[in-house]
Amino acid sequence: MMGRQAARRALLAVLVIALALFPLVGAKFYLTYATKIMIMAIFAMSLDLLVGVTGLVSLGHALYFGAAGYALAMMDGPSLWWSLPAAMAVAALAALAIGALVLRASGIYFIMVTLAFAQMAYFFVRDSSYFGGSDGKYLNARPDASLFGWQALDLDSHLHRYYLALALALAVYVLLRRVLGSAFGQVLVGIRDNEPRMRSLGFATFRFKLAAFVLAGALAGLAGYLAALQDGIMNPEQLGWNRSGEALIMVILGGMGTLAGPALGAGALMALELVFSTWTKHWQLLLGAFVIGVVLFLPRGLLARRQGGGHG
Amino acid sequence: MAEAALRTERLSRSFGGLRAVADVSLACLSGQVHAVIGPNGAGKTTLINMLSGDLAPSGGRIELFGEDITGLRPEAVSQRGVGRSYQKTNVFLGFSAFENCRLAAQSRLPSSMRFFRPAERYPEVNAAAGRALEAAGLAARGDAPAAALSHGEQRQLEIAMTLATAPRVLLLDEPLAGMGAEESARMVALIRALRTGHAILLVEHDMDAVFAVADVLTVIVNGAVLASGTPQEVRANPEVQQAYLGGEGEDE
């Protein structure tokens, strides 16, 4: 087990160093694309906390991504330091309110009701001129990242945004890894494997599921905030079911419940999309074939979880 | 007579027109094994499901040390000191035997909403998990993955997890199900040892085991109590012999 952990840390260190050095050789286009991948990796990891760790298959996770993104778009030239927590708080509050309702359902009903809430939000935003309607909402200006007069980051620089996304993706991974191994994380795994048994052992499982739902929502909000920051615009597609489904595919492709897997899934899916789309305009066919191939030959994902994985 | 740890009063449960459990009144005392027997479909599992909070009664009441716990949810019943083991083995196969008990013992922390400290760094939880494994005779198997345990060991682990929640009352639902003779003997010895400090309600089909371990016996037929008393009294009861023990096959 120690060997496994050491190997994981070594791999992570290599990956982070490689990503940190990438701007030395990568052109602006690739840096921007890599930034988008890391943002989706955060989003996929946040969904993995629900789907892979707790066994709650949500098909409406984009709602929280979109909520925080729109929260940023509605602000007028804010500071990074308060607008980021504020946007995440908006996403977390939405997750708290919706989670308190949807977590009363389970199985297929849970999937449907999470989808229903996300679609309600999608149509509301799309049809509301206040949020820019179907055209989306442009940011007036990117947030200001100065600290006591010193400009820590220039968020108009693609390079600074790249490093910000890298740092936050790493932070989210480390945070979630820590949470997984905590008392709270063990309860989530127990709920995934056998919720009735957890209740008979004395755990009020609803509260744990709600806490997981809020944490996942807040982290999805972090990804949504970064996406709005990156693109300079937020549009309704960002909280549609397409986006939720995309994240779900990344989680399944990478390996449910492994954290690193879904991040890898985000990278694999988006990198292949880029490659295939330069080959042919029918790139979605190839991407679909790849997904089917993984599901057939690696049914547990690119990074399979240790059998039944306790705190893997 | 000592105060009953767990007492039911005219406890009933209907499913549609069927009265699965009808007006069952019984008492479990600390330090005693109270066995509930009866043919398949007699309502034994329905009874235990009501006692553990998994199923809401349609009538009657349940008292735990004098406190009304009727209709409380399973987690609330557990927190008040009722531990339950299941007929179907219900352990977490991805965890080791020790981790199963640690998770169970964690339920007695003031809160498990603790997001950062690694789960293995709670000395009091580890100690409780270790004691439970030891009490269930699995001290040597703590590191083994639950999936690698034999059927009998998994049944022991099932009970160890329940013990890790520090219960005062144990509800054991067919702990001997599917066991060979040697494993059964070990489990009977375990149940006998657990009597100290616990009130035990035992539902079991294995009559040899029941008569070997029970202090009090209640026979349920068609959801209602047919007879209750010491094993000798029940064995001598002509109605019981007629309806159950002497009838067609005592195992089923």
SS3 state at B36: strand
Give B14's strand partners: B19
How many other CB atoms are found less than 10 A from the CB of residue A179? 20
Give the pLDDT of residue B39: 86
Interface test with A, best of B51, B80, B84, B95 (most A CBs within 10 A): B95
B162: nearest CA partner in chain A = A201
Task: Please report, in tens digits, the pLDDT of each residue of chain A (312 residues total).
Answer: 557 788 888 999 999 999 999 999 999 999 999 999 999 999 999 999 999 999 999 999 999 999 999 999 999 889 999 999 999 999 999 999 999 999 999 889 999 999 999 999 999 999 999 999 999 999 988 999 988 888 889 999 999 999 999 999 999 999 999 999 999 999 999 999 999 999 999 999 999 999 999 999 999 999 999 999 999 999 999 999 999 999 999 999 999 999 999 999 999 999 999 999 999 899 999 999 999 999 899 888 888 765 444 443
Give the pLDDT of residue A299: 86
B145 contacts in chain A (CB < 8 Å): 307
Are B226 and B236 in contact, with CB atoms under 8 Å apart? no
- Please give the angle made by the CA atoms of A280, A283 and A286, to the nearest 5 degrees: 115
pTM of the complete model:
0.93
Across the A:B interface, residue pairs with CB atoms under 8 Å apart total 100
Structure tokens at A172: 């989210």
Q: Nearest by CB to A193, from B74, B92, B118: name it.
A: B92
**Confidence band, pLDDT 50/70/90 cuts, at residue B244:** low
Q: Give the distance from residue A14's alpha carbon to the nearest chain B alpha carbon, in angstroms.
A: 25
pLDDT digits (tens, 9 = 90+) for B115-144: 999 999 999 999 999 999 999 999 999 999
**Per CATH, the architecture of B13-81+167-252 is what?**
3-Layer(aba) Sandwich (3.40)
Q: Where in chain B is the domain with CATH 3.40.50.300?
A: 13-81+167-252
pLDDT digits (tens, 9 = 90+) for B66-86: 999 999 999 999 999 999 999
B109 contacts in chain A (CB < 8 Å): 183
With b for 16 or more beta-carbon neighbours within 10 A and e for fewer, the A282-309 pattern comes to ebeebbeebbeebeeeeebbbbbbeebb
